[in-house]
Structure formats: C-alpha cells, structure tokens
Structure 1
Amino acid sequence: MSSAETATPAATDARAERRAKRIAKNISSFAKQHGGTAEGVVEYVGRTATRIVMVGADGAWGDQVAPTYAVGQRAAELAGMKLHASFEGELALRVKTGAYEWKRMAGIQLGG
C-alpha cells in the first residue's frame, strides 16, 4: 500500500491546507509587490495540476501551480484574491506585457 492509500481523510485535508497556505503566501507577496491587490482565475492544467493566474493592480501578471483545483481555490481565498470565471474581458485587458513577452511571442510566431 502507498502512503496515499493509508492516509486518513484528516491527514489529507491537513496536507492540502498547508499547501494552500504556502501558495497563498506567494499570491499575497505578488499582490504586495504589484499594487497591493491581485485578481485572477483558477484553471485546470490537467488531471494533476491547476494554474492560478494573477494580475496585480499595476497590470503585472504571474502564476502559481497548485496540485488540485480545490487547493488553488483555497489558496486564492486565503490570499483574499478576487476570482473571475475566466481570463477574458476586463481582466485580460488589464495585463501589461513588456518587451520580453513581445519578443518571446514574436519568436514563437517565427519558429524561434
């Protein structure tokens, strides 16, 4: 039996909460560095990961990866991050991209 099979539900919940708190600290740090607030979305990446995309008050963006959707949502909640249903419209328009992103996007388009 693996340790995951022998773990009690309480132990699993405690581990998920610790992960959420660790990710929430990163989200809070990002928000503090970028205008004091962050908004974003929690998106499935696959069966084993979730991506939290954050947009700071200054338009900077970043992301964090959580092991599950529930942990991602809990981390955003603990950090006080306003969640949106999708990364579209007003939220997407607030993102400010720099020279690095434009150069990277051009390189991808040109096969580089």
Structure 2
Amino acid sequence: MSSAETATTTARAERRAKRIAKHIGSFAKQHGGSAEGVVEYVGGVATRIVMVGADGAWGDQVAPTYAVGRRAAELAGLTLHDSFEGELGLKVRTGSYEWKRMAGIQLGG
C-alpha cells in the first residue's frame, strides 16, 4: 500500500471514529451526562461499543474495526472497562421490554 493510500485509509478511519463519537456523546448527554462502556469484537467484520449511561440506560454502536471503536470511545470520553461483567454490568437498569424479551427467550418465544 502506498503512503497516499495509507493516508486515505487513516483519514477515513478517523472520520468514522468522529462520527461514532458524536453518537456516543449524544447518548451520554441524554443519560446523565456521562457513560462507561466496553469495546468488544463482534467477529471478523465489526466491533461493538456497549455503553451504560450514568442513569443505568444502555445502548450500543457498531464500528467497522476494533481500532475505530477504541478511537471513537476515546474521542467521546467514554470510560472504558475490560469487560461487561462485574461493576459495569451491575450499573445497567433494564425496563419491562428487556424483562419480557428475556422471559420470552426462556420460554421459547
């Protein structure tokens, strides 16, 4: 890959990260002003950024690569954790929709 192609690829990744960071920032603003999260591989083609707002609401964003996901989280000021287990998972507040959905899965629905 030439240096021009590398520069183009890098610029494209930065634009994607900035676009995703805007969504993360908007989520944080709507849910208590701050958010924490984790960046996880979804497979070979994507990365998922799972966020938990200060009010316990959760959401996610998908990035094309792990590097873009990490960069977006950094740009948005998202406090990152190593995993969704433990402290971060305990902060999630679920609503009736999630409980009904989980019950449906357990009951074969």
Cα offset, 1:39, TM superposition: 0.3
User: Alignment partner for residue 68 of structure 2, among 54, 60, 71?
Assistant: 71
- State the partner residue of 2:102: 105
- Within 5 A, what are the aligned runs for 1:1-112? 8-112=5-109
Cα offset, 1:89, TM superposition: 0.8
Q: TM-score, normalised by structure 1?
A: 0.94
Identical counterparts, % of pairs: 82
Q: Which blocks of at least 5 consecutive residues in structure 1 are unaligned?
A: none
Q: Deviations over 1:7-49 (max 9, x none)?
A: 7000000000000000000000000000000000000000010
Aligned pair count?
108
Ranges of 4+ aligned residues in structure 1 off by more than 6 Å: none
SS, match of residue 64 in structure 1: strand
Quote the Cα distance in structure 1 between the aligned partners of 2:45 and 2:7. 21
Q: Which blocks of at least 5 consecutive residues in structure 2 are unaligned?
A: none
Quote the Cα distance in structure 2 between the aligned partners of 1:59 and 1:47. 30
SS, match of residue 108 in structure 2: coil
Cα offset, 1:59, TM superposition: 0.2
Cα offset, 1:56, TM superposition: 0.1
